[in-house]
């Protein structure tokens, strides 16, 4: 089979579902994913396998052994690699025609402009650092760039309790509660209230092992004095797939 025939057939099942116009929309879409960990890596996989034509991948971290239980990019062969580099290689192995750019940086007020230059069609927020999440949510709203956002997936065990709603209607999520508290202080609750959000309605499960640190625990976790939060791949992966689905629904609207 020729390379051209292979490229045409790899999205055949999707083509049959959404038609030529839908497939063209996805191949012409410019999507940014911020955070390539437990949630973001599965969102990326879904978008790469949905024929998205241009992906901007953003993460500051490298792949550690402790990532292997839940992160799609984490393999014995990728340990020590920048997540952005591993992600780009994986996307091009899925779809060599995809245009992939990478930004190896940590989101804060001083490192936000590159995400919007040029402006993508939509941004997926899969980061778990509160300050970075606030910056991304508010800057996207101010600039009028569509954003879909993931709340906390840690300490949950039941993927059937994952829900989607506007950010203002998220309930039962400690991260969302904390975000709203901080956004209220800044007077920014209103502009972020309608952001489509993935969250779990499940009550957080107790942590069985506390105050344990692996050799690759991130610096901010050491400084906070808190052990890393436990997580289960069936939940984090489902979060990522739901996040990708929100993005696909936006890109295909009003086809669906």
Average pLDDT over residues 34-46: 98
pLDDT tier, 5 (very low <50, low <70, confident <90, very high otherwise): low
Domains and CATH numbers, the chain: 3-252 (3.40.50.720)
- Distant-in-sequence, close-in-space partners of 227: CB < 8 Å, separation ≥ 6: 207, 209, 210, 211, 212, 213, 217, 221
- Measured distance CA(232)–CA(22) in Å, rounded: 33
Instruction: Write out pLDDT tens, residues 174-204.
Output: 999 999 999 999 998 899 999 999 999 999 8
Predicted TM-score (pTM) of the model is 0.91
pLDDT in the model for residue 100: 98
pLDDT in the model for residue 220: 42
pLDDT tier, 211 (very low <50, low <70, confident <90, very high otherwise): low
Q: What is the largest CA-CA distance in the chain?
A: 59
């Amino acid at each position: 089979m020729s390379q051209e025939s292979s490229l045409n057939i790899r999205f055949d099942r999707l083509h049959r579902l959404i038609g030529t116009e839908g497939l063209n929309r996805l191949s012409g879409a410019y999507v940014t994913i911020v955070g390539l960990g437990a949630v973001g890596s599965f969102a990326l996989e879904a978008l790469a396998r949905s024929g998205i034509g241009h992906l901007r991948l953003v993460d500051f971290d490298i792949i550690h052994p402790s990532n292997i239980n839940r992160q799609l990019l984490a393999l014995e062969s990728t340990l020590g690699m920048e997540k952005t580099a591993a992600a780009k290689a994986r996307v091009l192995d899925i779809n060599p025609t995809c245009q992939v750019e990478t930004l190896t940086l940590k989101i804060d007020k001083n490192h936000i402009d590159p995400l919007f230059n040029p402006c993508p069609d939509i941004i997926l927020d899969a980061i778990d650092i509160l300050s970075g999440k606030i910056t991304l949510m508010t800057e996207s709203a101010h600039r009028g760039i569509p954003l879909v956002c993931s709340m906390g997936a840690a300490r949950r065990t039941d993927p059937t309790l994952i829900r989607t709603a506007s950010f203002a209607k998220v309930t039962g999520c400690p991260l969302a509660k904390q975000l709203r508290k901080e956004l209220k202080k800044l007077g920014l609750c209103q502009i972020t209230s309608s952001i489509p959000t993935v969250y779990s309605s499940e009550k957080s499960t107790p942590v069985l092992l506390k105050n344990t640190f692996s050799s690759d625990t991130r610096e901010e976790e050491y400084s906070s004095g808190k052990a890393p939060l436990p997580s289960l791949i069936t939940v984090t992966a489902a979060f990522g797939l739901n996040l990708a689905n929100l993005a696909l629904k936006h890109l295909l609207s009003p086809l669906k």
